[in-house]
Amino acid sequence: MKPSNGSMINQRLAALSLAVVLLLAACGGNNPPATSETTAPAADEFSGLNLVVPARYDPPIEMSSVITVDATVKFLGENDIHNNVWTRAYEQLLGIQVSYDWVVDVSMYDQKLGLSVNSGDIPDMFRVTPSQLLLYQEAGLLANLTAVYEAEASAITRDVLTQDPVALKAATIDGKLWGIPLTDASVANASVLWIRQDWMDELGIAAPTSMDDVLEISRRFTEEDPDGDGVDDTIGLCASKSLYGAIANVQGFFNGYHAYPGIWFERDGQVVYGSVQPEMRTALLALQEMYASGQLDPEFGVKDVNAINETIAQGKCGMEFGVWWNPYHPLNLSQQNDPTAFWSAFAIPSVDSTPAKSQYTTAIGSFLVIRNGYEHPEALIRMVNFWTDNLVGSQDEAVRSTFLGNIEAPDVVLYKYTPVLLWEPNAAIKAGNALREALARHDPSGLDLEAQWRYRIIQAYYEQGILEAWVEVATNGPNGSSAILMQVLEDRGLMNRFYGPPTPTMAGKMPTLQSMEEETIIKVIMGESIDLFDQFASDWYKLGGTDIVDEVNQWAANNP
């Protein structure tokens, strides 16, 4: 009968509707996060991996070393620092049985190494600072790696070590290679200018093309209430008392005036110290004026990076000079109080028609060395090759997951189990370029998994309006900060010319001179006469600067 059929349909529809609503509500609710499994390493844990493996020692050789750990080093299952994926790989794949004589917290490393070396208990392979490299080389404790590097280094290892132009130079003494530099992204510490894009849009401000524009933007951000809260509480430019850090520094501002504080660069055939050059005066006067008109934080002289982070989180800061990754921290904090907050990166504008250069310093801070007398110095090069060939030159996800870590256990960072860590200096630039190309052609294929994830996040920002994704847009999106690094690398950067260990006078007097320098800069910005800077420059030379300049120039002559 039709009426009863209709009634049944009605009941079914209602029941189904309810079921669907409940089901979808459940989907949108609390799905438990995936749990990570703790599994014991399989006997054939490397079989099936697409690895590039250097020649294996047969029978295996022994290599003693030392390593640091900290609170972030965690292990799965039966693994520990002496028995983990890296020690097993070295042994099973390379035939190198690595044993650690001691394991200390990173803060204790230099002291412990000094004690070991002094007591004659020198590991076969260990990490040293530039000063230790020089010291131990002069003491004849280190093996000359020139020949083994030439014979054994893979193409990718050579590429990684030459991307930073001073990496190998820094490990070379008297024309011989004494260590393998642990590379990182040097250019990543070059400054870029970060500006609140949403404030610029609100006030109808165009992108800055000169330092005058920067000053004007700063003035308008300070005076025109860009956050629209009706309170005079915004600061044009955030700066930290640390002056030269990665966050809210002032060296980026100085660079706009062709001044390069804290680094050494060549001028008229001589290497000079940037902080005492005349260009500093103009920039200091500009900052002094900004401070006087309230465009800098009144508490600038006492504000450390933590305090700056708070200012940014409160949405009071309009501009800062920082590094390319600042959106990940601390600029992301600005969305805490304003979901529409968005920062854009700009190459440092110039005060005149000559393009400004962003200063940076090499990231080479340590080297891997081999004890003089160790029978297999080439083993270090093979370990380096294993890293670079498989983890820098390849994007194989299974390999990366095995040796670096995976999403199932994000707090277990496997690469911390080995001292052989060489990061590709231009990785951020390459990754950013690949991502931008993929975005331009709307096709993420060809990107590795991590880059594909970034692609989706950027896509979500553009196509779905998810503003929280701005961090990826600002760094790796079109016109993102990693694109500026490319310019810095090409012709918009100035690398610190001095990359050696501290010279004798430098070691003794530079800390005092640096304190004097920072104190002077802060005082002048906060209103003291510019004569104070002139006095500082004069005193700097008198209090040891002249000797340091001589020593640095002598070093430069030996390290062209």
Interface contacts to another protein, rule CB under 8 A: 2-4, 6-7, 9-10, 13-14, 16-17, 20-21, 24, 27-28, 31, 33-34, 197-198, 200-201, 228, 335-340, 342, 344, 407, 410, 436, 439-440, 442, 449-450, 452-453, 455-470, 473-474, 477-479
DSSP 367: E
Residue with smaller CB distance to another protein, 105 or 468: 468
To another protein, the closest distance from the beta carbon of 545 in angstroms equals 45
Q: Among residues 83 and 401, whose Cβ is nearest to another protein?
A: 401
For residue 201, the Cα-to-chain-centroid distance in whole angstroms is 30
Nearer to another protein, 134 or 467 (CB): 467
Residue number with CB closer to another protein (276 or 341): 341
Minimum separation from the CB atom of position 347 to another protein (A): 14
Minimum CB separation of residue 150 from another protein in Å reads 40
What is the residue type of 310? E
Q: Taking the complex as a whole, how short is the minimal distance between the CB of residue 27 and another protein, in angstroms? A: 6
Residue (of 329, 381, 410) closest to 145 by Cα position = 381
Q: How far apart are CA 386 and CA 471, in angstroms?
A: 33
Choice between 450 and 550, CB closer to another protein: 450
Using the 8-state DSSP alphabet, how is residue 107 labeled? G
Residue nearer to another protein on the CB measure, 160 or 483 = 483
Helices (H), 155-237: 155-163, 167-170, 197-203, 211-223
Is the CB of residue 185 less than 8 Å from the CB of residue 363? yes
Closer residue to another protein in complex, CB, 57/461: 461
In angstroms, the Cα distances linking 193 to 170, 200, 241, 318 are 30, 14, 18, 11
Structure token digits, residue 64: 């003693």
Across 170-179, b (16+ Cβ under 10 Å) vs e yields: bbbbeeebbb
Quick check: 367 and 501 in contact, CB under 8 A? no
- The DSSP call for residue 229 is S
CB 21, min distance to another protein, A: 7
Q: Tell me whether residue 111 or residue 336 sits nearer to another protein (CB atom).
A: 336
Report yes or no: 266 and 274 within 8 Å, Cβ to Cβ. Answer: no
Dihedral of CA 147/150/154/156: which sign?
A: positive
| 1 DSSP 8-state letter | -
For residue 4, the minimal CB distance to another protein (Å) is 6
Q: Are 458 and 442 in contact (CB under 8 A)?
A: no
Alpha carbon distance 503, 491 (integer Å): 29
CA nearest to 167, candidates 549, 419, 372, 424: 424
Closest contact distance (angstroms) between CB of 463 and another protein is 4
Q: Closer to another protein by CB, 16 or 507: give it.
A: 16
Phi, psi of 462 (to 5 degrees): -75, -40
Among residues 354 and 464, whose Cβ is nearest to another protein?
464
Q: Which residue has the tokens 């260009």?
A: 279
CB 261 within 8 A of CB 268: no
Provide, rounded to whole angstroms, the least separation between the CB of residue 178 and another protein.
Answer: 40
Round to the nearest angstrom and report the end-to-end CA distance of the chain: 99
Least Å from the CB of residue 470 to another protein: 7
Shortest distance, CB of residue 345 to another protein, whole angstroms? 11
